[in-house]
Amino acid sequence: MLPDLWATSRLLVNYPEPYRSEILDYLFKPNFGASLHILKVEIGGDGQTTDGTEPSHMHYTLDENYFRGYEWWLMEEAKKRNPNIILIGLPWSFGWLGNGFNWPYVNLELTAYYIVSWILGAKRYHDLDIDYIGIWNERSFDSYIKVLRRMLDSQGLQRVKIIASDNLWEPISTSVLLDSALWKVVDVIGAHYPGTHTVQIAKLTEKKLWSSEDFSTLNSDVGAGCWGRILNQNYINGYMTSTIAWNLVSSYYEQLPYGRCGLMTAQEPWSGHYVVESPIWVSAHTTQFTQPGWYYLKTVGHLEKGGSYVALTDGLGNLTIIVETMSHKHSTCIRPFLPYYNVSHQLATFVLKGSFSDIPELQVWYTKLAKPLERRLFKQLDSLWLLDTGGRFTLDLQEDELFTLTTLTTGRKGNHPLPPKSQSFPLTYKDDFNVDYPFFSEAPNFADQTGVFEYYMNVEDPGEHRYTLRQVLNQRPITWAADSSNTISIIGDYQWSDMKIQCDVYIETLDRGGVFIAGRINKGGILIRSARGVFFWIFSNGSYRVTGDLAGWITYTAGSVEVTAKMWYTLTLKIKVAGRRKKTQ
């Protein structure tokens, strides 16, 4: 079981210590919290991927920088806590590779080089070994897969395995069966949101089957129930041996798409507040008592009155059994549709046979969801003694429960001191970007939605504009979503109404260049193209506009102003909500 993330950990890097390390412990530290086995990251491509853009290691030809963004840091922190964690990379956007087309397969060799360089850079600059690589998130796969395999091998990366195609079971399964060369280079068939089911033709490929993106559900107890159900039933119904949760941690502004759809919540670096949500402890029921390389036993299935059970072994005598009774009402995922089913009170009897019949004792861990007064999260119960029982035991099962029974004695419900209380984003906020050697390329709390904004030292300016934040893209990347036509980065509180925004700005492009500041932005992420708000623009052709939307269709006022490129200006925008109808002035 593993998490993935696409611009969803943006705020995590800005947390002060010790809170940042505590969050990372709950995610990655073995036998502490979620104890995640695998981390899947986005290969930044300068384009919008759901909740923001992540910078590419190549903004343009011959540009290589393996310190942009925060994914390198996150992988390093995961490896510090669990040296055995498996790392996966997957591209969504491909930067400049389209040569004018929104298509990464114009030059297959160049695209393969772009991806392989990221893998090589991970090792050279961060000592990170990437174990699996994907093709193109939820898009076409083309013959590029074969070219990628050849280039991986030519660079000594035979150990890096390929997952295809991070979309549906088809057409990749049929393609693998019909093309022997493709069959040889695909190691894992990964599907998104399979609803615990696969298709027969995918099984016929005899490849590993993964739910390579799943969950994406509010991290309430219902979300935890969804997670507990699919962790078991993805294997029972679909023979999927890995289930990937999108996303790792809700560390992005909550008003962006899929707010709080991570395993835990950490969206307030300014206060240090975070919440260890129930999906963390549901994860622990599986991850703390299994490891990659363990085997599912054939004796898995559904319980008579609803729910399911799986059993896994390391082949060395250890056994872990996970039982869930998640009700339909309290385990519905955001997608796909879940047909109705019933769960009711039952007694379930299990019998250990063969080499497991001699197990004298099983540790018991328990979770109860849905009912606040009965709620328990990852609680260790008394051990189950099996001496003189013939390996037989019976569980009294109610709705919305999760049991783990295991020979392993290493389980632990880790905890850190309570974090600070939640606080709103500061009403007064200022940043002069005066950082000589920034650890991250992005300024704290800014979340890029189209384009890439990076720290930039203006060495030709001896004055107050030596340190700046600069939008660095000069061409539209291959986009995965409907990126805006105008670059934008957001910061602050979605609920602010009356405000004053002031910023020194510099237009680099003659004639057609421009810049804006804005407030009361109502949406972002994959919806950024249709964002509404109050936008104050100036252009290098000597004009200005105030619009009600990012696209510029709603114009409040416009005119001429003495503005030109290559000069610094101070823009000020005051927004006040007045009157009974909340009219914006």
In DSSP notation, 424-447 reads PPPSS-------SS-SSSS-TT-E
CA distance 404 to 378: 9
Tokens representing 46 are: 């300068």
Domain(s) of CATH 3.20.20.80: residues in the chain: 2-270
Q: How does pLDDT run across 476-491, given as a tens digit for each residue?
A: 999 999 899 999 999 9
Q: According to the model, what pLDDT value does residue 460 have?
A: 86
Q: According to the model, what pLDDT value does residue 511 have?
A: 83
- Comparing 313-317, 385-389, 452-456, 534-538, the range with the smallest average pLDDT is 385-389
SS3 assignment, position 330: coil
What type of residue sits at position 393? F
Give the residues across from 405 on adjacent strands: 321, 364
CA distance 194 to 543: 52
Q: What is the topology classification, in CATH, of domain 2-270?
A: TIM Barrel (3.20.20)
Domain(s) of CATH 2.60.120.560: residues in the chain: 447-584
Average confidence (pLDDT) over 342-362? 98
> Does residue 204 carry a pLDDT above 90?
yes
CB atoms within 10 A of CB 206: 10
DSSP code per residue over 494-531:
TT--SEEEEEEEE--STTT-EEEEEE-----GGGGGG-
* Cα 440 to Cα 269, 434, 470, 539, distances in angstroms: 15, 13, 14, 30
Q: According to the model, what pLDDT value does residue 579 have?
A: 66
Q: Are 479 and 48 in contact (CB under 8 A)?
A: yes
Q: Which are the contacts of 509, defined by CB distance < 8 A and separation ≥ 6?
A: 540, 565
Catalytic residue among 76, 109, 138, 254: 138
Tokens representing 146 are: 């074969």
Q: According to the model, what pLDDT value does residue 463 have?
A: 86
Superfamily of chain region 447-584: Exo-inulinase; domain 1 (2.60.120.560)
Q: How does pLDDT run across 92-119, given as a tens digit for each residue?
A: 999 999 988 999 999 999 999 999 999 9
CA distance 283 to 280: 5
Average pLDDT of the chain, as a whole number:
96
CA distance 55 to 163: 23
Average confidence (pLDDT) over 337-355? 98
Q: According to the model, what pLDDT value does residue 6 have?
A: 65
Catalytic residue among 213, 268, 324, 454: 213
> Does residue 4 carry a pLDDT above 60?
no
Q: How does pLDDT run across 112-132, given as a tens digit for each residue?
A: 999 999 999 999 999 999 999
Q: According to the model, what pLDDT value does residue 578 have?
A: 77
Average confidence (pLDDT) over 254-272? 98
Average confidence (pLDDT) over 72-98? 98
Local confidence band at 577 (pLDDT 50, 70, 90 cut-offs): confident
Domain(s) of CATH 2.60.40.1180: residues in the chain: 313-406
Active-site annotation holds for 213: yes
Local confidence band at 371 (pLDDT 50, 70, 90 cut-offs): confident
Local confidence band at 427 (pLDDT 50, 70, 90 cut-offs): very high
Average confidence (pLDDT) over 401-408? 99
Find the Cα–Cα–Cα–Cα dihedral 389, 395, 396, 398, rounded to 10°.
180
Local confidence band at 400 (pLDDT 50, 70, 90 cut-offs): very high
> Does residue 581 carry a pLDDT above 70?
no
Instruction: Please report, rounded to a whole number, the percentage of residues in the chain having pLDDT higher than 90.
Output: 93
Give the residues across from 403 on adjacent strands: 323, 366
Pairing of strands 86-91, 132-133: parallel
CB atoms within 10 A of CB 498: 13
Q: Are 250 and 9 in contact (CB under 8 A)?
A: no
Closest CA to 545 of 573, 505, 570: 573
Domain 313-406, classified CATH 2.60.40.1180, yes or no: yes
Find the Cα–Cα–Cα–Cα dihedral 79, 85, 86, 89, rounded to 10°.
-40
CA distance 457 to 467: 5
The pTM of this model reads 0.97
Instruction: Please report, rounded to a whole number, the percentage of residues in the chain having pLDDT higher than 70.
Output: 98
